[in-house]
Amino acid sequence: MTGALETFFHEVNESLIMAIASIRTNKLRSILTLLGIAVGVFSIIGVMTAMGVLISSIENGMTFLGANTFQVQRTPAMMTGDPKEMVKVMNRRNITYEQALRIKESASLAKAVGIFCYLNSQKVVVAEDGKKTNPSVNVSGRDIESFLANNWIIDEGRLFSQGELNSGSHVAILGADVVKKLYPKSDPVGQTIRVDKHKYQVIGIVKSKGSVLGGDNESFVLIPLSTFFSIYGKDQGFSFKVQADAMAIDDCMEQVRGILRTARHVPPAAEDDFSIISNDSLITQFNEFTKYLKLGIIIVSSIALLAAGVGIMNIMLVSVTERTREIGIRKAIGARKINIMTQFVMEAVLLSEFGGMFGIILGIFGGNAIALLLDAQPIIPYDWVLIGFLTCSLVGIVFGVYPAWKAANLEPIESLRYE
Amino acid sequence: MNNSYVINLQQIKKIYDMGGAEEVQALRGVSVQIGKNEYVAIMGPSGSGKSTLMNIIGCLDTPTSGLYEFNSINVSEMNDNQLAKVRNKEIGFVFQTFNLLARSNALHNVELPLIYAGVSSAERKRLAHEALEHVGLGDRVHHKPNELSGGQRQRVAVARALVNRPSILLADEPTGNLDSKTGDEIMVLFEELHTQGNTIILVTHEEYIAEHAHRIIRLRDGMIEADEIVKNRKSITTE
């Protein structure tokens, strides 16, 4: 038994050596062939790595949501392309200030409830010296608890005073990206900025948390809620962000949901007419959102791998013809059919696996480019690496078997005479 | 007595079906016995069936009818894998065109039969080295065929043929692609191998080469025309 095993091992080893030698002899041809496999595997691994980075970046709490916070707003964070769903969401009523205040008063499990109101459009912010930002700044009205709920720390300057909040003063606190753009060298506190012809005095800066998901999150101007009302009106629709203890976050979410349903008169059997966004719900939504993308990539890659497999088969058939004489020699000195079979299948599998490894490496680098953009932790999707590797081995076997079978069944005399 | 023959052919016929009603009778009933340590030359003009006979003796081909016993074992009814095993262990081929693997060095070429015989790597290396030294190429083991002269290539082929210690050495026009001096060197090698106890079967159309053998079997039109002992053997020396 061990003898047979040993013999098998030698044969596989020999096939391996011969296969490598043959691939090396036909370098260009081999590279072109394995490129097909590499492209197929690259697209799978690349996309899966990118997805993995996004998900882990959400999981790591590097999102605009802290680990123990959730946000309540009219519309969900992400929407699938389903038009019925979109119409339903668009027809939802705004969350009113009164409803938001009711949450603040009644949500006993919440540590902090920050109410805020923002514009649907983004603005240009102009400094005194005429410097402008891109029209990508979010202007929002905030109450004091918003800073707690968002984990915002004032880096320089100060928070809104109670007086400013009550009176609707034209004061503003800036996000790090706005500061970077308008005041690269000078101190912004005390300066005046202009948004939509309205002037604000800068009183503070929010400490940067590092950019997340695209990097534009710290491009914001915060003004007191009352100021926002007086300029943009009270009918913009409110969102609020709730911070709770890690232990109680699920209970708190239920509590808030109950209060808001009552306040908005949602019938008992009907679904919520508002969206609660938490890290978990973001991940779930993200997965839902990317499900079809993943499926699409898998289908496209499968087609690419199929085409690459046909390429491998083609090149193997050429190789068998070219090496007819070699096959004859091997047979004359005692190679059995299974030996020849093993050798050629091995060659196809190796070719395919080289391509696969190439694709895996490229895919990991390509997919992690997004991690670099997001400043997130790079990842290696081990499960997909394994799946990719096994798939291309399978492609090698499936498309290598016929040429190998053809080689194994050549007549020794005929092949020895082959010129 | 019959049992001591290495090769025992009884009424071997080989008919090639050329498609349609046409068929070619390459062998029309050949009966030959070859004993251990014989040095036999098979001769005949082209079309005489000598190649077909060699292929059958070499287990590369099976006869249409007749009995072929190799060391008293009936090989005429063996399947492909069994024939491969006989070729591997019992027969050493030497071809006119050397038939070495161009991409492999001498050592690996000689190792090849041992690989298919399932010999371990270390043992393989040792035996292959030994075989190459035996044919005088101990210093050429890592050369590829294109780095060797014709005569050296044929020596590698002989080393490969002998490495599994086969029952017969089957040579098909072994000097056909060599100049006469190098050809003579190969014939000297064969002579030595015969002296050492090897059984050699030589297929050739050159009288000059055949006369080195001890016995000549002449074929014509698929039949044995003559089977004679060589009386005045050409003794051959390196000079």
DSSP assignments along A296-331, one per residue: HHHHHHHHHHHHHHHHHHHHHHHHHHHTHHHHHHHH
Return the CA Rg of chain B. 18
Q: What is the nearest CA distance from B29 to chain A, expressed in angstroms? A: 21
| Residue whose tokens read 């394995």 | A34
Look at residue B60 and give its three-state secondary structure. coil
Q: What is the nearest CA distance from A331 to chain B, expressed in angstroms? A: 7
The rounded average pLDDT for each run of 10 residues, N- to C-terminus, in chain B (239 residues) is 77 86 87 93 90 91 91 87 92 92 91 89 92 92 94 94 92 90 90 91 89 92 90 62
Residue A99 CB coordination number (10 Å): 21
Q: What single letter denotes the amino acid at residue B217?
A: I
Beta-carbon-side half-sphere exposure of residue A414 (alpha carbons within 13 Å): 7
Can you give the pLDDT at residue B1?
A: 41
CB B72 within 8 A of CB B3: yes
CB A136 within 8 A of CB A219: yes
Domain ranges of chain A: 8-60+285-417, 69-275
Is pLDDT at A374 greater than 60 in this prediction? yes
Q: What is the nearest CA distance from A279 to chain B, expressed in angstroms? A: 59
pLDDT band at A138 (very low <50, low <70, confident <90, very high): confident
Q: In the structure, how many helices (H) and strands (E) does chain A have?
A: 14, 11
Torsions phi, psi of A233, nearest 5? 95, 170
Cβ contact B120–A21 (<8 Å): no
Contacts of A6 in chain B (CB under 8 A): 118, 120
Second CATH level (architecture) for the domain B38-48+81-229? 3-Layer(aba) Sandwich (3.40)
Can you give the pLDDT at residue A215?
A: 45
Residue B208's closest CA among B228, B187, B185, B192? Answer: B187
CB B173 within 8 A of CB B96: yes
Q: What is the nearest CA distance from A13 to chain B, expressed in angstroms? A: 10
| Residue whose tokens read 């039949």 | B223
Classify the complex by whether its ipTM is higher than 0.95, answering yes or no.
Answer: no
How wide is the angle at C-alpha A407 spanned by C-alphas A403 and A410, nearest 5°? 140
A339 in reach of chain B (CB within 8 A):
yes
Cβ contact A329–B101 (<8 Å): yes
Cβ contact B112–A326 (<8 Å): no
Residue A158 to residue B178: CA distance in whole angstroms = 100
Can you give the pLDDT at residue A216?
A: 47
pLDDT band at A203 (very low <50, low <70, confident <90, very high): very high
B84 in reach of chain A (CB within 8 A):
yes
- Within 92-121 of B, beta carbons closer than 8 Å to A belong to 93, 95, 99-101, 103-104, 112-113, 115-121
A7: nearest CA partner in chain B = B118
State pLDDT tens for residues A308-345: 899 999 999 999 999 999 999 999 999 999 889 988 99
Which of residues A229 and A377 earns the better pLDDT score?
A: A229
CA A418 to each of CA A325, A415, B13, B99, B170: distance values in angstroms, whole numbers, following the listed order: 6, 5, 25, 11, 20
